Amino acid sequence: MSLDEVDDLRDWLTLAEKLGEVRTINGAHWDKEIGAASEVNYKRPSPPALVFDDIVGYRSGQRVLTGSTANARRLGMTLRLGTDLDDRRLVEELRTRPGEWVANAHRFAPREVDSGPLTENVVTGDVNLLDFPVPQWHEADGGRYIGTGCAVFTTDPESGTLNAGAYRMQVQNDGRAASINIEAGKHGAAHVREWFAREGRAPVTVSLGHDPLLLVVAGTEVPRDMSELAYAGAVLGRPVEVVRGEATGLPLPARAELAVEGWLYPERREQEGPFGEWTGYYSGSTEPVLTMDIERVYHRDDPIQLGAPPGKPPHDYSYMRSVMKSAMIQDALVRSGLPGVEGVWSHEAGGGRQLLAVAVRQQYAGHARQAGHLTSQLPSAAYMNKFVIVVDHDVDPRSLNEVMWAVCTRSDPVQDIETISRTWGSRVDPLRAPGLPPFNTRAVIDACRPWERLADFPRVAEASRELTDHVMSRWPDALGGAR
Ligand SMILES: Cc1cc2nc3c(=O)[nH]c(=O)nc-3n(C[C@H](O)[C@H](O)[C@H](O)COP(=O)(O)O)c2cc1C
């Protein structure tokens, strides 16, 4: 199996296993054990993917996969960039790619087929999502979540443009329904609102197990009016094959493992949550959330669910989020015309959203502030950002230690921290007071040397590159690995 041949989750697993990137756990219980074992795994450096099989109460072969994109090698493989990338090379390989994928997506519209592995089993009428080993991920979750690494498909009723978003889905009504928690401002939310206004209901299909590439594209802010399936096609260099859902006419990946179909209605809501979220906190109390009565379930024999439970970082997809956000934000900044962008890193500690570091080579008075404010409001960065730290080009934006050193030594809190209010927050923000709209506030921290002191700012007390190379070549055994 080579990377070019990977066409679905099973191929992906075969290749990942061949690369030594997968461990199997047999006999775990869906009730908290799968979630906790996955969490322990994420805390390891470069964690493997975990396949849970022989899940208590379920048939052997009905599996759950977690940690799919939690290290450089598997994320690089998922993005079809290579099978041997490390952190640094993955970031290098990704530079400018998101922009190219957006530009090329129109050439890779999904290709419709009559049937595929997904249609091996089609269940109508008496459906029960709990026929599958849906995990209770965290101890205080309000229920079992079938949708974490999912792709929820909606359309624009006017243009027909397809959207895929990863939105958490809790099993409701003893397995006959599932709530879909779409935050305001997300493309899926706009589609659903527009369908409600026009037709009084909104069609939805959801894939619950697929090539992790779909999780990456559904869970990342791809521009509006761009089909995530076409974007995935641009990553693959060939169209994604889809079958049409029989009830709604919406597409589903033909090689998906498990999928559902139904309609959302404005008044059809169930109490949802709490859920352990990517901020590292439970999402608060339960709230009524739009709920889909499942009309059809499609699945392969022995389907594999793709789990991607969030939690206190590092969590299932925080690494993926950091890498993707960093590349997309850097691309967007360069495309905006801002000069001197040397690097961007979206830190895992902030769930890949809340803490961004941007390195610039200062070229004019005001350049650093411009970089900070611009970054904080880019469409690819605005949702739930809280801190943008702008550093000079001699500071590595990926190193939290270097970034905070710059904050401590090059920023004056009174002068160099600016705040913005009533910005795009989220209901999952632990600071949001219950009942209030999900605004947040954010700070731009200018941790660059002050422009007017660039010439005479104290010299950094660190050995020069030449001197460092010299001592390392003299005592390679004693100093090897020190840098
Ligand atoms: C595993 C996972 C779970 C997510 N859960 C939610 C969620 O419950 N609600 C939400 O609004 N966004 C959630 N997100 C973030 C969205 O998927 C992300 O913002 C995506 O860009 C939304 O697509 P859209 O911009 O096309 O609406 C999740 C992302 C991932 C990777």
pLDDT in tens, 414-457: 999 999 999 999 988 999 888 899 999 999 999 999 999 999 99
Residue 465 has pLDDT above 90, yes or no: yes
Residue 103 burial by Cβ neighbours in a 10 Å radius (0-12, 13-18, 19+): exposed
- C-alpha distances (whole Å) from 333 to each of 111, 235, 362, 372, 377 are 33, 21, 15, 10, 11
**Sole residue written with tokens 């099993």:** 171
Predicted TM-score (pTM) of the model is 0.94
Neighbours of 239 (CB within 10 A): 17
Residue 482 has pLDDT above 80, yes or no: no
Enumerate residues lining ligand 1, CB below 6 A. Answer: 148-149, 163, 165-168, 181-183, 186-188, 218-221, 308, 317
How much distance in Å is there from the Cα of 229 to the middle of ligand 1? 15
Strand-pair category, 169-172 with 145-147: antiparallel
Residue 284 has pLDDT above 90, yes or no: no
Give nearest CA residue, ligand 1 atom 13: 167
For every residue of 444-457, DSSP letters joined together read EEEESPPGGGTTTS
- C-alpha distances (whole Å) from 278 to each of 69, 260, 316, 321, 428 are 15, 25, 9, 10, 8
- C-alpha distances (whole Å) from 419 to each of 102, 257, 414, 444 are 32, 46, 11, 6
How much distance in Å is there from the Cα of 450 to the middle of ligand 1? 38
Test site for ligand 1: of 146, 163, 168, 290, most ligand atoms within 8 A of the Cβ: 168
Report yes or no: 32 and 106 within 8 Å, Cβ to Cβ: no
Angstrom distance (rounded) from CA 483 to CA 476: 11
pLDDT in tens, 233-283: 999 999 999 999 999 999 999 999 999 999 999 999 999 999 999 999 999
How much distance in Å is there from the Cα of 101 to the middle of ligand 1? 19
- Ligand 1 atom closest to 308 (CA): 1
Average predicted confidence (pLDDT) for the chain: 96
- C-alpha distances (whole Å) from 42 to each of 67, 92, 146, 317 are 7, 24, 20, 9
Can you tell me the mean pLDDT for 117-126? 96
pLDDT for 226 equals: 86
Report yes or no: 179 and 170 within 8 Å, Cβ to Cβ: yes
Residue 187: phi, psi to the nearest 5? Answer: -60, -40
Angstrom distance (rounded) from CA 284 to CA 426: 12
Q: Any idea how long the chain is?
A: 483
pLDDT in tens, 123-152: 999 999 999 999 999 999 999 999 999 999
Give nearest CA residue, ligand 1 atom 7: 167
Residue 483 has pLDDT above 70, yes or no: no
